[in-house]
């Protein structure tokens, strides 16, 4: 059992190479097939859970270890505590593949295609639960590995990231039991061909005239961003970039102005809006003395529209009940944000309807789809300086590419340190700035109208398919487990 757990751990860690920046998209077909093979040979549900947990520790330990950077390098937490906290976080995420392994062990009936379909179903349900329970953290869901040029990317506008992940898991599981069978290779070819065909379908269409957008990347180190004496550095950096790169819409990153919006000097707003509308990432005052993480659209005539972040980051933007002590160990400025109301309207800026999302809100496709079909363009404001020069930045850009595919909308991203980029509705990156440089990306973007099937139904289709995948085993008598 120890050897099998070690193999599962290595398989999970290896799967990180399927995601950005490596993007070896066929890799999960192999690593998941081998994991499901280990589940098939496990002699109990408990053993399946151990294997799933080991796989998860490998994936998250290698893939989201950048959490350590935010707690130690930026937050100042002591090395031992930051290491323990990072391991605990990865272990919590690993509970979900462990639950999938346990459920598989309880429900499987022996061998064959029914068990393979079951494995794909419980895997997908576990990933969906990880994106929902405890406010959700769907980072490194398998479907994110299938951005273009993967042929499975064509299914994203239909069934979203979890549906794409279900396809990956299904092909892997069936391949694990039947890769020598020509029917499996025929099915793989047919699904890939169908995915390529789906990529040719334009689910949405352009609307209106193109608009010029300047995405500013200030590259302000997180370690000095919130120091009062450094405030002029942030203001002057973004004022200079805005004036040097004029556009109809200028977008600043999340909390680019490390102050309440009401405190931004009038002359700064005048300079920022001299060439057109500006979207500013800044804290905004809310009721009862609180404040929210906001994106504020300001026109040259000083009309103001506001979006307040709804899906806050636990421990980073709000304190979960019972964890007040945590903030005595780490320095996280402005960690008591108030969430905005759900269902906020898109902002009308320069003739476009902008659906705003801030930081990791773009991990939740269901929530972004709620702004459609009214929105013509998705805009993400992020500050990934918290995670240094790590895998977090390219992984986050890959997540945004899936959102573009799901919604059939272009996405522009303004970030503090990277990855500032423009993404087409087909999930391809039109242009991007190098990370960790002070610069601006000016692009011409056309809005889109219409809805993809995913935008209308959200994650419900993938969840229903995953539940259906668990049904075939229920009508079959259980065979004794092989020991």
Mean pLDDT value of segment 157-186: 93
Give the pLDDT score at 482: 42
Which residue of the set 309, 361, 406, 470 is catalytic?
309
Give the pLDDT score at 335: 66
- Reported as a single tens digit per residue, the pLDDT across 421-435 is 999 999 999 999 999
Mean pLDDT value of segment 213-233: 88
Q: For a pLDDT cut of 90, what percent of the chain falls above it?
A: 77
Residue 289 has pLDDT above 80, yes or no: no
Range of weakest confidence among 281-295, 364-378, 430-444: 281-295
| CATH fourth-level superfamily of 205-451 | Carbon-nitrogen hydrolase (3.60.110.10)
Give the pLDDT score at 323: 64
In the annotation, is 254 catalytic? yes
Which residue of the set 127, 359, 406, 470 is catalytic?
359
Rounded to whole angstroms, the Cα distance separating 368 from 69 reads 28
Tokens representing residue 224 in the block: 């000095």
- Reported as a single tens digit per residue, the pLDDT across 298-322 is 999 999 999 999 999 887 777 676 6
Residue 118 has pLDDT above 80, yes or no: yes
**pLDDT higher at 483 or 403:** 403
Residue 324 has pLDDT above 70, yes or no: no
Give the pLDDT score at 183: 85
**pLDDT band with cut points at 50, 70 and 90 for residue 286:** confident
In the annotation, is 359 catalytic? yes
Residue 313 near residue 296, CB atoms below 8 Å? no
**pLDDT band with cut points at 50, 70 and 90 for residue 477:** low
Mean pLDDT value of segment 398-403: 98
- Reported as a single tens digit per residue, the pLDDT across 356-393 is 999 999 999 999 998 999 999 999 999 988 888 999 99
Residue 38 has pLDDT above 50, yes or no: yes
* Torsion angle, alpha carbons of 115, 117, 118, 119, to 10: 90
Mean pLDDT value of segment 31-54: 96
Range of weakest confidence among 71-85, 125-139, 239-253, 420-434: 71-85
**pLDDT higher at 452 or 321:** 452
Residue 332 has pLDDT above 70, yes or no: no
Dihedral sign of CA atoms 444, 450, 456, 461 in order: negative
Range of weakest confidence among 84-98, 107-121, 412-426: 107-121
Q: How many CB atoms lie within 10 A of CB 427?
A: 25
Which residues neighbour 264 within 8 Å (Cβ) at sequence distance 6 or greater?
235, 257, 280, 282
Mean pLDDT value of segment 434-458: 97
Average per-residue pLDDT in the chain? 92
Give the pLDDT score at 71: 84
Residue 239 has pLDDT above 50, yes or no: yes
Range of weakest confidence among 219-223, 270-274, 459-463: 219-223
Give the pLDDT score at 476: 66
**pLDDT band with cut points at 50, 70 and 90 for residue 478:** low
Residue 115 has pLDDT above 50, yes or no: yes
Q: What are the structural domain ranges in the chain?
A: 2-201+459-475, 205-451
Residue 483 has pLDDT above 60, yes or no: no
- Could you tell me the pTM of the whole model? 0.94
Backbone φ and ψ of 94, nearest 5°: -70, -15
- Reported as a single tens digit per residue, the pLDDT across 251-265 is 999 999 989 999 999
Give the pLDDT score at 412: 98
Which residue of the set 127, 254, 317, 406 is catalytic?
254
State the distance between the two ends of the chain, measured CA to CA, in whole angstroms. 12
Give the pLDDT score at 331: 67
Residue 341 has pLDDT above 50, yes or no: yes
């Amino acid at each position: 059992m120890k050897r099998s757990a070690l193999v599962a751990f290595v398989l999970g860690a290896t799967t990180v190479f399927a995601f950005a920046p490596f993007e070896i998209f066929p890799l999960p077909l192999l690593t998941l097939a081998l994991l499901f093979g280990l589940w098939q040979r496990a002699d109990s549900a408990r053993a399946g859970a151990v294997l799933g947990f080991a796989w998860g520790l490998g994936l998250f330990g290698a893939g989201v270890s950048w959490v350590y950077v935010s707690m130690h390098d930026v937050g100042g937490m002591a090395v031992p505590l930051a290491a323990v906290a990072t391991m605990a976080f990865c272990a919590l995420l690993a509970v979900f593949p462990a639950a999938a392994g346990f459920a598989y062990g309880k429900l499987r009936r022996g061998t064959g295609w029914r068990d393979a379909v079951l494995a794909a179903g419980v895997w997908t349900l576990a990933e969906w639960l990880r994106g929902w329970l405890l406010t959700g953290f769907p980072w490194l869901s398998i479907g994110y590995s299938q951005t273009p040029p993967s042929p499975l990317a064509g299914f994203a506008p239909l069934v979203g990231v979890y549906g794409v992940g279900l396809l990956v898991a299904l092909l892997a599981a069936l391949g694990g039991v039947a890769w020598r069978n020509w029917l499996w290779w025929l099915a793989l070819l047919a699904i890939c061909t169908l995915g390529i065909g789906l990529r040719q379908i334009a689910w949405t269409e352009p609307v209106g005239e193109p608009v010029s957008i300047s995405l500013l990347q200030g590259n302000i180190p997180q370690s000095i961003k919130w120091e009062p004496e450094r405030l002029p550095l942030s203001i002057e950096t973004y004022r200079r970039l805005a004036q040097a790169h004029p556009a109809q819409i200028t977008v600043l990153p999340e909390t680019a102005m490390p102050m309440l919006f009401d405190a931004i000097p009038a002359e700064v707003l005048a300079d920022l809006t001299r060439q057109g509308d500006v979207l500013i990432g800044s804290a905004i005052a809310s009721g009862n003395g609180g404040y929210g993480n906001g994106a504020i659209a300001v026109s040259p005539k000083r009309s103001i529209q506001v979006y307040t972040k709804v899906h806050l980051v636990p421990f980073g933007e709000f304190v979960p009940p019972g964890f007040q002590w945590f903030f005595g160990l780490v320095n996280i400025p402005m960690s008591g944000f108030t969430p905005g109301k759900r269902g906020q309207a898109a902002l009308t800026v320069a003739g476009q309807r902008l659906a705003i999302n801030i930081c990791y809100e773009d991990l939740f496709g269901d929530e972004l789809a709620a702004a459609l079909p009214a929105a013509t363009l998705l805009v993400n404001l992020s500050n990934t300086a918290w995670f240094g020069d790590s895998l977090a930045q390219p992984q986050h850009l890959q997540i945004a590419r899936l959102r573009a595919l799901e919604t059939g909308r272009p996405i522009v991203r303004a970030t503090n340190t990277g990855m500032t980029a423009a993404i087409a509705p087909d999930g391809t990156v039109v242009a991007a700035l190098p990370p960790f440089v002070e610069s601006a990306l000016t692009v011409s973007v056309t809005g889109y109208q219409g809805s993809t099937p995913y935008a209308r139904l959200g994650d419900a289709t993938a969840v229903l398919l995953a539940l259906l995948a668990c049904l075939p085993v229920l009508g079959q008598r259980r065979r004794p487990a092989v020991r």
